[in-house]
Structure 1
Amino acid sequence: MSGIQEDRDRDAFAGGLGEALRITGDSFDAPGGSLVEGGVARGRRRLRRRRAATVTGSVAALAVVGFGASYAAGAFGAGAVHGSPVAARPEPGRTAQGKTGASASGKQYPASHVIKTLEGLLPQGELTHRTGRGTDEDGGPFASVVFDDGKGKAAISVSLGRVDPEDRMATDQLACPGKVYTPYDACSSKTLADGTRLLLLQGYEYPDKRVDTKWWHAYAVTAEGYTIDAGEWNAPAEKDAPVSRDEPPLSAGQLKTLVTAEEWRPILRALPEPQLQPVQQPAPQAATADTIVRNLTSLLPKSTKVTTSHGDDGFAYVVVNDGKGASLVQINVQPDMKDEEGDLFGSDAQTRPDGMKVATHQGAGDKGVQGAAMWTVDTISKDGFRVVISAFNSGSQITAPTRKTPALTMDQLKAIATSEKWRG
């Protein structure tokens, strides 16, 4: 069963919103390179996102750097160990380091102990394909088994880590994802009586549901900053294995019990404290979520009605309807993108008298979604201030079109992207 975690660790965006990113990114290839490929790279550096090199193309991929931190699959796997979680967003002046230090308790626990702890917390059933890591191994403590309670085999895994409990990323990773990008059946995020923050999510391995593999997940961050991440599937492997049962074996309540069990405490106390260091050059402040949502809403045509909205620093989306069907509109507002200008804007970009470059693209949306359309306007000013907006002919990137074309025309998208409001 080592393939379960290894595959997730190698392809951090294969599940959840990360998969939606990859699908969208693959479908958006502009002449001379993706319109936003360089922006993705810049965003990744600022937010310390690991293993995002495969994410290219589309404004959606860039958007998730701000919005999708709570649901990138890698955020809940082996990446969240030793103070180096995926998509960590440090506060000004401090950042978590991915270095393994001395054990906080002076003890070490081998892989066999971590596996045995997981086994002892599971209901009665047959256990096979055991694998794991100890506290002194790269990647941090981890255990995985194939569990069969007589209703079919199911992969179950748990990884343990430690983060700075004051770091904003701990909150970001505990938010339920937006269904616009990631469908799921149930999700809750709460703080328990002891201060532990808990996310419970019942979703799917692939957001487009190309196969029936379900992924149910629990992620807990204790008041001390210890993290316990559990995942289960209704198949004997995370991917590339036939579904063996209707649902994963553990209920949401059982997942909660698993990640909050006291049996994990000795192992967690063996983890070193996250090592922090000053940020040498803080990234320029992105526009706040409220500001972007407010500006975007105010610039929409009066004929459109906003039915859903969400924002994060530097990013926002709305779902609008003009009476002809739902249409997703998403936007990124980014300062200091001058270094990426050459990668983002080719010879086909128009240059306005004030020096702003404007690139446009009209093409298909997500690969595999028949009839999908994605219209994009990308702008960058002489000082590197960038605004990129996309509209779709559906209320989600992963569902069938609700209309022939997006609710906004290219001229309307261009007017929004070039508005002076983004400078305010």
Structure 2
Amino acid sequence: MPVEHDEIPFDDRLGTALRQAGDSFETDGAALVAAGRTRGRRLRLRRRAAVVGGVTGIALAGVGGALLVPWDGGQGTERSVASGGTPGPGGSVTPDRAAVTGPDLLRTLESLLPEGTFSVKEARSTDHRQGPYARLVFDDGHGQAAVEVGLGRIDADSEQAEEATTCPDKAFAQYDACERSELPDGSALMIVQGYEYPDRRVDTKYWYAQLVTPQGQQVSVMEWNASAEKDAPVTRPDPPLSPAQLKSVVTAAEWRAAVDSIPRKPAGKGTGGTESAPPASGDPGAGTSEAGTPEAGTSGADGRSVRPTFLSLLPQGVEVVTKGDQGSEFTYVVVDDGKGRSLVQINVQPGMSDTEDQLFGPDAETLPDGTKVTARQGPGEKGGSGVVMWTVDTLRADGLRVVVSAFNSGAQNTPATRDEPALTMEQLRKIATSGKWRDFADR
């Protein structure tokens, strides 16, 4: 979530996210987009918020969750955990099962839904180069509703797999309920009852279930209380499937068999994998996960170690109401100076020297020690009514990037609670340029 302003709004990417999950997930911050493309440093909280804030579960990686798409997204590169199957000519791998056609996926989806009518059907087979999915409009007599299923693979033991089934942080996402459970076979299941639009400007509900099995099969089932996720009137109070029904559909054995029929490539072929460690989740960067967390064997600043330093640098006169972190490089607090709540968040990212050209233009200030500094003030990135975002971004000569942002609301996706953030631009600058961050460059 952190860092910059919208380049492409989250909620405008939902429809294509599922059907183009082979392409890299774009963050909504211009600076993070640049950094992510170069280093794969997308932040964990952004994934979790995206899940309930308008990005379909199949693209999670996610702002809560991470799906490793096993197709090349039309770019000739592999983005999945490679395992199983029989190597064939040119490094391709024969799937464990015969491909499941799009019509077959639709028939399976229809068979798992309650009694009703089906229309506006579309799907792709499990051997389609852009990946499998099935989508239809379902009507049980109480109003039309869009229902989708997406399939993919993920390293079941990875941090991304855990995040894919971890409830989003409410400081960054709005939802009514979220439940995570472990099934008897060891599969992890998360069910979220959220909303299509982060700012609730339209009351379209978006509910979804996300399943990750011990074998690395990932299934996402999504539903809305409208005939389309976007630009369609609400047709019913809630989506048609209850949480219990979502669980029944997402855990159906037919989906796991379909995942096993997706073609794969050997490990290390393409941008999504490495020879020795599980690859990042559909991320174009190498060596880091989509959350910005280092892969096995590499280093990075941990959110829990960032927080004490961050707290020590907050100005006097503000009370910390809420605080949290989600692991690598990111932590946040909600403060109140007596004038209303204000979200303040920080990213501490070592090894970012190669992003300087993308992040800092010719107008950036250069301090005597070589630190680049740029400041920005603009609208909040999640679209909450009247929310503004103030940011100070720094890059030190040793490659350590420290980015601090403050909002005039206690959450990015809720209306403003005050005219300005609780911290001034000068206070944000003092935090970002503090010498206390020096030791984080080597982590």
TM-score, structure 1 normalization? 0.80
Partners of 2:57 and 2:154 lie apart in 1 by 12
Deviation digits for residues 389-414 of structure 1 (CA, Å, limit 9, x no counterpart): 11111111222221222111222212
In the superposition, relative to structure 1, how do residues 255 and 171 fare at CA in structure 2: closer, same or farther (>3 Å)? same
Residue 313 of structure 1 and its aligned partner are, at CA, apart by 0.8
Q: CA RMSD in A?
A: 3.1
Q: Does 1:310 align with 2:324?
A: yes
Matches within 5 A, 1:410-421: 410-421=425-436
Residue type of the alignment partner of 1:66: R
Per mean C-alpha deviation after superposition, the further-off stretch among 228-237 and 272-281 is: 272-281
Work out which of the residue numbers 81, 96, 104 in structure 1 matches 2:96: 104
Aligned to 1:242: 233
Partners of 2:68 and 2:403 lie apart in 1 by 34
Partners of 1:260 and 1:240 lie apart in 2 by 30
Is the 1:164–1:274 Cα contact (8 Å) retained in structure 2? Answer: no
Aligned to 2:87: none
Residue type of the alignment partner of 1:362: Q
Q: Does 1:220 align with 2:234?
A: no
Give unmatched runs, 5+ long, in structure 1: 13-17, 26-36, 48-61, 87-93
Is the 2:348–2:401 Cα contact (8 Å) retained in structure 1? Answer: yes
Residue 246 of structure 1 and its aligned partner are, at CA, apart by 1.0
Matches within 5 A, 1:20-419: 22=28, 25=29, 37-47=30-40, 65-72=43-50, 73-77=55-59, 80=67, 82-83=69-70, 96=81, 101-105=93-97, 107-272=98-263, 275-277=266-268, 278=274, 282=287, 285-311=299-325, 312-366=327-381, 369=384, 371-419=386-434
In the superposition, relative to structure 1, how do residues 279 and 299 fare at CA in structure 2: closer, same or farther (>3 Å)? farther
Residue 368 of structure 1 and its aligned partner are, at CA, apart by 5.6
Residue 348 of structure 1 and its aligned partner are, at CA, apart by 3.7
Residue type of the alignment partner of 2:16: D
Partners of 1:71 and 1:240 lie apart in 2 by 21
Partners of 2:245 and 2:404 lie apart in 1 by 42
Give unmatched runs, 5+ long, in structure 2: 1-12, 62-66, 74-78, 84-90, 269-273, 277-285, 289-297
Residue 10 of structure 1 and its aligned partner are, at CA, apart by 6.3
Aligned to 1:423: 438
Partners of 1:261 and 1:412 lie apart in 2 by 53
Aligned to 1:15: none
In the superposition, relative to structure 1, how do residues 111 and 11 fare at CA in structure 2: closer, same or farther (>3 Å)? closer
Is the 2:102–2:132 Cα contact (8 Å) retained in structure 1? Answer: yes
Residue type of the alignment partner of 1:133: R
Residue type of the alignment partner of 1:67: L
Aligned to 1:55: none
Partners of 1:318 and 1:355 lie apart in 2 by 29
Residue 234 of structure 1 and its aligned partner are, at CA, apart by 0.5
Is the 2:71–2:131 Cα contact (8 Å) retained in structure 1? Answer: no
Partners of 2:259 and 2:374 lie apart in 1 by 50
Partners of 1:314 and 1:151 lie apart in 2 by 46
Paired residue secondary structure (1:76): helix
Residue 329 of structure 1 and its aligned partner are, at CA, apart by 0.4
Is the 1:44–1:65 Cα contact (8 Å) retained in structure 2? Answer: no
Partners of 2:20 and 2:198 lie apart in 1 by 15
Number of aligned residues: 379
Deviation digits for residues 285-325 of structure 1 (CA, Å, limit 9, x no counterpart): 33101011222122212322222222231112111112221
Residue 174 of structure 1 and its aligned partner are, at CA, apart by 1.4
Is the 1:78–1:159 Cα contact (8 Å) retained in structure 2? Answer: no
Is the 1:66–1:314 Cα contact (8 Å) retained in structure 2? Answer: no
Partners of 1:323 and 1:364 lie apart in 2 by 23
Residue 266 of structure 1 and its aligned partner are, at CA, apart by 3.0
Paired residue secondary structure (1:276): coil
Residue 78 of structure 1 and its aligned partner are, at CA, apart by 10
Identity across the alignment (%): 45
Paired residue secondary structure (2:43): helix
In the superposition, relative to structure 1, how do residues 348 and 113 fare at CA in structure 2: closer, same or farther (>3 Å)? closer
Work out which of the residue numbers 2, 8, 11 in structure 1 matches 2:17: 8
Paired residue secondary structure (1:208): coil
Paired residue secondary structure (1:69): helix
Residue 132 of structure 1 and its aligned partner are, at CA, apart by 1.4
Paired residue secondary structure (1:414): helix
Paired residue secondary structure (1:120): helix
Paired residue secondary structure (2:93): coil
Partners of 2:48 and 2:380 lie apart in 1 by 24
Partners of 1:120 and 1:162 lie apart in 2 by 23
In the superposition, relative to structure 1, how do residues 376 and 294 fare at CA in structure 2: closer, same or farther (>3 Å)? same
Residue type of the alignment partner of 1:290: R
Residue 162 of structure 1 and its aligned partner are, at CA, apart by 1.9
